[in-house]
Amino acid sequence: MALDRNQLLKPVRKLQKLVKKMDSHPTPGKVHDLRTNTRRFEAIFEALSPDAPGIKKSILKDLGRLRRRAGKVRDMDVLLSYASTVHLPGEEECLVQLLEHLGSRRRRHAKKLHLEVQRLRPELRQGLKRTPAILSKLVRPNGDGLQSGAAAANATAAAVKLAAELAVPQRLSRENLHPYRLKVKQLRNVLQMANGNPRPKFVDDLGEVKDAIGEWHDWEELVPIAQEAVDHGNRCELLAELKRIAKGKYEHALALVRTLRKRYLQNAGPPKKGPSGASPKVPSGPALAATAMLAG
């Protein structure tokens, strides 16, 4: 079995510290860590279940609430950083209006996040304290010095299924590209549970695609917020520049997805109906090798 104990426990330990220390003025780094490690914890639970008894679903539910709250703060942090890079002569006033608007929204969301953390903190700390022992048991060697293969088999099956799902939908657009990113992120989180060095290039390529789609989506979200924040009208050059950047980011992200699919997922896709029923398709080559690392 090739599940990495440290990779399983790392997000739990991070969450323990974050839940304990999150205050009313969280730094962008802490907000990002809360969101990212919650996603990783969710991916671990989904991949190992039902071989992770003892992890209460209430913990997942509460962490999901915090992740969504943190996501709203994180969005503002990212948009602030992107907006601050746009410098157009004559549009300084519009940029200031946009930055002030984003800052105000960030403060509101940060306050709500802090209140939610305070409300959920006692129960979450207790649940997270028990979790490391549960996860460690899954990868503990037995009397023969071997590890039980059930958890690894579940994780491998989950990774293969997720990899196959990356072949659909066949046609990607602005409407479904961001939901597609969630599949990419979930698969990458599962593959990172494997005990392997060096890390497969497939995992790195998934990360590149995830980041590119996320960057496009953030720029796309910035456009309507800017339209609301500035009073310069549709002739505002700042708005035109934001739309131009978003368009370029979309084209770049789409190109990366197409390359990823061509390189790794030619044989993947939804099940095909045959005489004997559904026949699932699976990825081959480097993608399948990356998923196999979870099984050893």
Q: What is the pLDDT of residue 89?
A: 93
Query: How would residue 282 be classed by pLDDT, with cut points 50, 70 and 90?
Result: low
Residue 30 has pLDDT above 50, yes or no: yes
pTM summary value: 0.88
Question: Which tokens hold the place of 158?
Answer: 């989950």
Question: Which tokens hold the place of 200?
Answer: 């497969």
pLDDT in tens, 130-171: 999 888 877 765 544 344 567 788 888 889 999 999 999 989
- Please give the tally of structural domains in the chain: 1
Domain of 69, CATH number, reads 1.40.20.10
Query: How would residue 266 be classed by pLDDT, with cut points 50, 70 and 90?
Result: confident
CA-angle at 214, arms to 34 and 37, nearest 5°: 20
Residue 272 has pLDDT above 60, yes or no: no
**How many whole angstroms from its chain centre is CA 151?**
22
Using CA atoms, how far apart are residues 57 and 10, in angstroms rounded to an integer? 20
Question: Which tokens hold the place of 257?
Answer: 């997805």
Which of residues 197 and 23 earns the better pLDDT score? 23
**How many whole angstroms from its chain centre is CA 156?**
19
Measured over the CA atoms of residue 257, residue 259, residue 261 and residue 264, the dihedral's sign is negative
pLDDT in tens, 36-89: 999 999 998 888 766 556 677 889 999 999 999 999 999 999 999 999 999 999
